[in-house]
Chain A
């Protein structure tokens, strides 16, 4: 798993690209890194999932926790570029009802600035 901050916009939205696998073995690390991003005071977080190979329910739990934490402080969390292999998992878990899903980074950023 590799997390990289690929973009920070003028209005403080941070785009984080996630590569590789997030499973039970590294979900805690995933949580720590994302929490650090959220604690950096950013209003919006966009997770670019284009290169994410695999996500387990441990990772979904982290995303749900982060969404709640963002909502509490008036921020947002969105995801974009969800690979076909993960789309169905987000759908059946109901996560696509909770976390806004966009096709591309540009769309996600446009939605954040609205």
Chain B
């Protein structure tokens, strides 16, 4: 089965509910496994929060998500006009094997994005961040 959908949200935290609902609706429509729905939900929430909280110096902006799926994989392209941010290189890597006492609270979001997605590519184009995320259907 394959489908293509586009969702645009504003850079307000209240919009995250709409994003999550859209992901769950798509998952149902396109028969995603519960694991895939959980992963995509978490990853998009983390990325959207980053852009909402740190992407701009004020004002209301838009973030768009284009979803396309094939039998094997789900591809999402996230586009925003925030400050340049490449999650592959611009975020620290937490030590997830560190003992509890040494684990900082926080710093986990982008790391989870990198770990949970199967492919991640970033490009900056015409003042916009374009992040392409691929998740395979097979776990």
Contacts and interface: CB of A to CB of B under 8 A. Distances in A.
Interface string A57-80: 100110011011001000000000
- Give the dominant DSSP class at B's interface: helix
Contacts of B39: 88-89
Contact of B108 (A23, A24, A60, A88): A60
A59 to B, nearest CB: 10
Contact of A24 (B13, B99, B103, B112): B13
B101 A88 contact: no
Interface residues of B, number: 31
Size range of the interface on A? 20 to 34
Nearest to B110: A57
B92 to A, nearest CB: 14
A109 B13 CA distance: 38
Given A24-B49, A92-B116, A97 B108 contact: no
